[in-house]
Amino acid sequence: MRITFFARDYPLNEREIIVLGIQLSCQRARQSRITFSDNEKACAQQTPLYRLLREGITTLDSTICTTEHELLFIYSLFNARNYLCNNLELLQKDFEVVYQNHIQRYPELEKLVQELRSSLNISPENDLLLKKAFLPFIRSTWADMQLFQPDLIYLLDKDQQDLYQTVQTILTKWSTICQTEIHWNDNLIRKMTLTLDLLRRKNFDEKIELYIVAPSDFNFLYYRKQLEALLDDHFIISNMIYNTLDEVVDDVFFCSRRIIVCDTALYRADLGSENTLIFPVSLNTIDEICFKINQIVRPVKISLKG
């Protein structure tokens, strides 16, 4: 399910977190007004997101913020969340603009990305995924707002705890060298750690191709990266990001049998058919699903020709 906010599509869970943040801010504003510096304002105002929010809020029947400072706080909520687009090319163009505004303009942030890449031994092939994992994390630090960002609670296993400590050390060392005043949110560090842990995993040596149904561009790119490692020369992964199974199963342009990898959050068991093989998958089970598909890939390729 997708919810449209100010010309951007947000998954339901992201929308709920944004709404929760706005509700909390409304309660907080009654007791303590929030203020932002001129530099923080200028940084936000030069982004497309701020302009979208400012224009979008004027179209509402009720006012959810009464001052520019409250608008900037709402901007901080949206700025830290992931949104969707069903066209990978357009989404990538948008990502390049956002990445330039929030990271490439600041050499010290580029150095932090490089430090994470080298210290964690993340393959250059995973560079785009690293940037997509890092972007929402660093965007949440705008105006030192990370401590005030609502989110789910993220838990780590023992190996991930070790990685978490490494990431914390990297952030602390970087903050000291760059003399930043960012107050890091431990929960958001754990959230990024889970993603970085995925990017450090060993890739496959073989290759395979499918359609992908995913709730976000990061999930799509991560699934695509793992599946590309299994693809043989006869297959090509679709560039479309499908956010519901219905978009794939019911599309009139599909005339042949096909394989679909679907995120478990979007999976529906009733949509499989003789012509469509659907595999539910998560970020943590993609390796197992790849192995399963690899075991049946040759008979599947024969049936697809029939």
CA 65, chain centre distance (Å): 27
Q: Pick 28 or 70 by higher pLDDT.
A: 70
* pLDDT at residue 205 tops 70: no
Contacts by 186-190, CB closer than 8 A, 24 or more apart? 187/151, 187/153, 187/154, 188/137, 188/140, 188/146, 188/149, 188/151, 189/137, 189/164, 190/154, 190/155, 190/156, 190/164
- What mean pLDDT is predicted for residues 285-297? 74
What's residue 6's pLDDT?
Answer: 42
Looking at the domain assignment, is residue 206 inside a domain?
no
Of 71-75, 188-192, 263-267, the range with the highest mean pLDDT is: 188-192
Of 81-95, 99-113, 280-294, the range with the highest mean pLDDT is: 99-113
Looking at the domain assignment, is residue 204 inside a domain?
no
Q: In whole angstroms, what is the distance from residue 34 CA to residue 20 CA?
A: 17
The pLDDT confidence band at residue 252, using thresholds 50, 70 and 90, is very low
Q: Are residues 135 and 223 in the same domain?
A: no
Q: Are residues 92 and 173 in the same domain?
A: yes
Looking at the domain assignment, is residue 264 inside a domain?
yes
* pLDDT at residue 165 tops 50: yes
Total domains, the chain: 3
199, 226, 242: which is the final residue of a domain?
199
* pLDDT at residue 190 tops 90: yes
Q: In whole angstroms, what is the distance from residue 281 CA to residue 127 CA?
A: 23
* pLDDT at residue 35 tops 70: yes
CB 208 within 8 A of CB 231: yes
Q: Are residues 226 and 142 in the same domain?
A: no
Q: In whole angstroms, what is the distance from residue 136 CA to residue 18 CA?
A: 14
The one-letter amino acid at 116: L
Q: In whole angstroms, what is the distance from residue 109 CA to residue 128 CA?
A: 15
The bridge status of strand 8-11 relative to strand 2-5 is antiparallel
What's residue 273's pLDDT?
Answer: 66
Structural domain for 156, as ranges:
88-199
Report percent pLDDT > 70 for the chain.
83
What's residue 8's pLDDT?
Answer: 60
171, 199, 227: which is the final residue of a domain?
199
